[in-house]
């Protein structure tokens, strides 16, 4: 009981980077007064132990060096576990926490298509992905059950479905009153439509993970049984492997391929997950058509003001906005998928004004940018204070660093540099 209460008072998160950048990000957070520790039960998860103010108000969170996420919410992407270079579809992606996990696991050569049908939530998803600097993700805005493309296939698909949310009843007691039995029928129907569409998009040898934050069997076990009876999919051994790998209280193998998490035992929301496999062998000799549509205008990285060129991706101009699109997304575009790549900035007359959120592709030498020595200096900058800055380079943006850690880009005017997100 004491352990559960202790977990309930903590915030959990994941780092968006690894190696040196993660170590510097942690030091950045510590200098703000936070004490954080890794969570042994969930690889990659970290917990806030002590804090001077809410973790969401930290500079590390502001600059997208981390993503705050409930522990149980991290598990579906861990269960799917895309292989490096995988083609992944996150069918109901907003706000983007699981998308971020999938993008990190698939790696720079992988591709994640993050789909969200609701415009408001899609905007939130895109804002989060921009803040996190995840360039191997493209976004789409289709109703999941109507996701287009007769010949489109994915190696891994996550269906984190809309649900009654009964698993969050401890935090949101009203859900059991809102989702009465008569209101569940349209929701159950939608979940089945999403599963049926996901099944049609799954490549041979691929894995499908279905997850909900409800404890209602109609939305969980019954849905998986319904799909197994009507398709060639079979339960995946990934569920058993994940259950054995994690020493999480409340996590159990309910049936072959199906996991349940009793959130009351670990101070989190309850969750249901199932992993299914499509029979057949994965085609390891994927034919990639990297020709963009003829109407797309390509932009050279140097002309856009990037100091390093992106790998496995190109820059394209749409109106006055510049997007980075992974090469592996182009075959989906040619199949009719309407995507949006990673937003880099805007073309202004003959110059490109890069987004302040873009910390990638910076000049790697912090001395040529603004290299802050204290976190309070960084906080002053993002609060609107301009700083003295002079450079022989007449670019409109310069890198913002903290003790060599890339954070973003400052706009320059005369002999001053300042943080500005206007018109972005």
Contact of 307 with 369, CB cutoff 8 Å: no
Q: What is the H or E stretch that residue 176 is in?
A: helix 175-178
- Residue indicated by tokens 């959120």: 357
DSSP state of 392: S
Contact of 341 with 323, CB cutoff 8 Å: yes
Contact of 75 with 261, CB cutoff 8 Å: yes
Contact of 75 with 238, CB cutoff 8 Å: no
Do the strands 87-90 and 111-115 form a parallel or antiparallel pair, or are they unpaired? parallel
Q: What is the H or E stretch that residue 323 is in?
A: strand 321-326
Full DSSP string of 37-72: EE-TTSTTEEEEEE-SS-GGGSHHHHTTSEEE--TG
Kindly name the residue from 163, 213, 243, 314 that is annotated as catalytic. 213
Number of H helices, E strands in the chain: 12, 23
229-234's contacts with Cβ under 8 Å and 24+ in sequence apart are: 230/196, 231/199, 232/278, 232/279, 233/199, 233/202, 233/208, 233/276, 233/277, 233/278, 233/279, 234/276, 234/277, 234/279
Joined together, the tokens standing for residue 93 give 């992606």
Quote the CA–CA distance of 13 and 360 in Å, as a whole number.
22
314 catalytically annotated: no
Contact of 14 with 38, CB cutoff 8 Å: no
Measured over the CA atoms of residue 246, residue 252, residue 256 and residue 258, the dihedral's sign is: negative
Contact of 299 with 354, CB cutoff 8 Å: no
Q: How far is CA 217 from the centre of its chain?
A: 28
What radius of gyration do the chain's Cα atoms show?
22
Q: Return left, alpha or beta for 254; rule: phi > 0 is left, psi -120 to 50 is alpha, else beta.
A: alpha
- Among candidates 114, 103, 102, which has minimal Cα distance to 138? 114
Contact of 60 with 66, CB cutoff 8 Å: yes
* Strand-by-strand arrangement of the 342-348 sheet: 297-299, 313-318, 321-326, 342-348, 351-354
Joined together, the tokens standing for residue 175 give 């859900």
Q: Which residues are catalytic?
A: 213
């Amino acid at each position: 009981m004491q352990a559960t209460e202790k977990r309930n008072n903590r915030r959990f998160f994941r780092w968006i980077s690894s190696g040196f950048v993660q170590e510097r990000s942690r030091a950045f957070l510590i200098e703000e007064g936070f004490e954080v520790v890794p969570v042994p039960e969930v690889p990659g998860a970290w917990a806030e132990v002590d804090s001077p103010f809410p973790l969401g108000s930290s500079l590390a969170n502001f600059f997208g060096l981390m993503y705050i996420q409930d522990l149980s919410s991290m598990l579906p992407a861990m269960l799917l576990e895309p292989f490096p270079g995988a083609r992944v579809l996150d069918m109901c992606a907003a706000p983007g926490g699981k998308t971020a996990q999938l993008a990190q696991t698939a790696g720079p050569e992988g591709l994640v298509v993050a789909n969200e049908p609701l415009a408001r939530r899609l905007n939130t998803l895109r804002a989060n992905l921009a803040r996190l600097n995840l360039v191997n993700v493209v976004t789409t805005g289709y109703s999941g059950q109507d996701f287009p493309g007769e010949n489109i296939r994915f190696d891994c698909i996550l269906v984190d479905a809309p649900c009654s949310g009964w698993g969050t009843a401890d935090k949101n007691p009203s859900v059991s009153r809102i989702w009465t039995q008569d209101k569940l029928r349209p929701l159950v129907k939608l979940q089945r439509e999403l599963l049926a569409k996901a099944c049609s998009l799954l490549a041979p040898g691929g894995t499908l993970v279905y997850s909900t934050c409800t404890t209602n069997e109609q939305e969980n076990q019954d849905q998986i049984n319904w799909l197994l009876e009507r398709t060639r999919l079979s339960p995946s051994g990934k569920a058993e492997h994940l259950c054995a790998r994690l020493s999480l209280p409340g996590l159990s193998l309910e049936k072959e391929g199906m996991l349940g998490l009793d959130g009351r035992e670990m101070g989190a929301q309850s969750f249901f997950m199932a992993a299914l496999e499509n029979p057949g062998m994965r085609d390891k000799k994927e034919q990639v058509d990297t020709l963009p549509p003829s109407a797309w205008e390509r932009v050279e990285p140097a002309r856009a003001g990037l100091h390093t060129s992106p790998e496995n991706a190109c820059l394209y101009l749409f109106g006055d906005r510049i997007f980075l699109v992974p090469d592996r997304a182009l075959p989906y575009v040619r199949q009719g998928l309407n995507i949006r790549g990673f937003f880099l900035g805007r073309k202004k007359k003959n110059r490109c004004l890069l987004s302040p959120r873009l910390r990638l592709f910076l000049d790697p030498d912090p001395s040529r940018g603004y290299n802050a020595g204290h976190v309070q200096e960084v906080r002053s900058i993002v609060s609107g204070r301009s700083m003295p800055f002079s450079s022989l380079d007449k670019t409109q943006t310069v890198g913002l660093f903290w003790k060599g850690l890339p954070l973003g880009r400052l706009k320059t005017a005369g002999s001053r540099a300042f943080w500005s997100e206007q018109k972005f």
